[in-house]
Chain A
Amino acid sequence: MNETPHNDTYLDSLLDKLVTVEAKPAWGDVVGRARRAHRRYVMAAAGLGALVLAPSGWAIQHTLLSAAPTIPAPPPYQPGDKVWATTPPITPVATTIDCNTIEDAATLLAKLEQQGSPINTVLCSNATLSSAPGLPAAPAPYKSGDSVTTSP
């Protein structure tokens, strides 16, 4: 058949000239690409999983650690600590004391807060020393924020 613009033979000859690609089979490359893509997918999924699970994992760990026993106190203090741990919630047993009004502690220029819990026949108490607003820091040996726990 003559190749004229009016027939398909001419059109086919143009299409034939249009794409002249040489493609050598490389099946190994295909399999390699598939493996690499699979690896990327697995890594991306793991990363995404870590992002999703990390907060809940942290929360679980935090809960477990919170529930775990704390480091025991030195032996002399342990009897008191044990009692303290089983007491009702701490309640204030004394109002804030302005040290300036207490003779022995007048030089501290600080405030003393005392809290405690009744334990059977004894009182377990905790005293916290803090600077009153506008007052300079308490001198040594006690300073603002010091806390002393006593269990008679």
Chain B
Amino acid sequence: MLDELEALYRERLHDYARAATAIAGDEESGRDAVQEAFAKAVRKRKRFRGEGSLEAWVLRIVVNAARDARRRRFRRVELSEPIATRAEGLGLPLELLTDRQREVLFLHYYADLDYTTIAQALGISPGTVGATLSAARQTLRSALAKEVAR
């Protein structure tokens, strides 16, 4: 089990770090969330029952760690969020998305995960993942088109 976790870590670190960074709001928090999440997975590996994939189980911990990092940032009243600032600079209106839409979009795009794994990680159905992703993309496309038309 430990070997499998290490293999998953080495194979997917980059993708997970990108997704966690997007959710947490900055690179340092994102990287730290991934390290903390894998440490937690190592510690609690005996609790993995094999009901879903190991990747989905670990990803759930990563997402929770990234969410916690984001909440800590808000508690510290750090208003500047590097990812939000960069999105604004790129003209990408992420603020139009709900938290769930952002998470599904980030996991699908950065971690390149299928609907089933995202669904297991977020505790929702694959159909909801598809609908949420579609709605998120539609919202962003519409906003970007309006921006260009201006």
Contact = CB atoms under 8 A, between A and B. Distances in A.
Same complex for A and B? Answer yes
A23 B83 contact: no
A27 B41 CA distance: 12
Interface of A: 4-8, 10-12, 14-15, 17-19, 21, 23, 25-27, 29-34, 37-38
Nearest to A24: B13
Interface string B64-87: 000000000000000000010011
A7 to B, nearest CB: 7
Main SS class of interface, A: helix
A21 to B, nearest CB: 5
Interface string B139-150: 011001101100
B43 to A, nearest CB: 5
Interface of B: 6, 9-10, 13-14, 17-18, 21-22, 27, 30-31, 34-36, 38-40, 42-43, 83, 86-87, 90-92, 105, 109-110, 137, 140-141, 144-145, 147-148
B91 A38 contact: no
Of A27, A30, A32, chain B has the most CB atoms within 10 Å of the CB of: A30
Main SS class of interface, B: helix
A14 B90 contact: yes
A38 B18 contact: no
Contacts of A8: 137, 141
A21 B31 contact: yes
Nearest to B105: A15
Contacts of B36: 33
Contact of B141 (A5, A17, A25, A29): A5
Given A5-B141, A5-B144, A23 B92 contact: no
A34 B42 contact: yes
Given A15-B109, A19-B27, 8 more contacts: A5-B147, A6-B141, A6-B144, A11-B144, A15-B92, A19-B18, A21-B18, A37-B43
B26 to A, nearest CB: 9
A102 to B, nearest CB: 79
A15 B19 CA distance: 11
Contacts of A14: 90-92, 144
Contacts of B21: 19, 21
